[in-house]
Amino acid sequence: MPTLHYAPAAARTLTRLERGRRADPARLRRVRHALERLAADPRHPGLCSHPYPGLPGHGGRRAWTSYVDQGAGAWRLWWSWEPAASDHGQEHAVLTVLAIGPHL
């Protein structure tokens, strides 16, 4: 299972969905569900993950996009994948969530 890291833009979006005047508990629940699926299996069929050529990846890696929801006002996750690295004898991949927001 990859380790999730959040770019500053993605972290700010999560904070806005959690609290303040722009809080949206329903959307936050859908985003968290998609993030759980992404962490468990980036190829999960419900995410419809595919390469996203319009966004440069993290550290020169390819950027991907995955569904949070569908239909009018749909949201997406944009992320990049870093291959497994060794950490004290254990290998783990790093998935960096670059952005979270409305479908472009």
- pLDDT per position as a tens digit, 14-72: 999 999 888 999 999 999 999 999 999 999 999 999 998 877 666 677 899 999 999 88
Bridge partners of residue 90, in order along the sequence:
87
Q: What does each C-alpha distance from 11 to 14, 71, 76 come to in angstroms?
A: 5, 24, 14
At residue 86, the pLDDT reads 60
| DSSP at 47 | T
At residue 81, the pLDDT reads 86
The pTM of this model reads: 0.86
- Domains belonging to the chain, first-starting first, are 3-102 (3.30.2310)
CA separation for the pair 35, 55 (Å, rounded): 19
Give the phi and the psi of residue 57 in degrees, each rounded to 5: -75, 175
Query: Is the sign of the CA dihedral 65, 70, 71, 72 positive or negative?
Result: negative
Range 85-95 average pLDDT: 69
At residue 92, the pLDDT reads 74
89: left (phi over 0), alpha (psi -120 to 50) or beta: left
Range 79-96 average pLDDT: 75
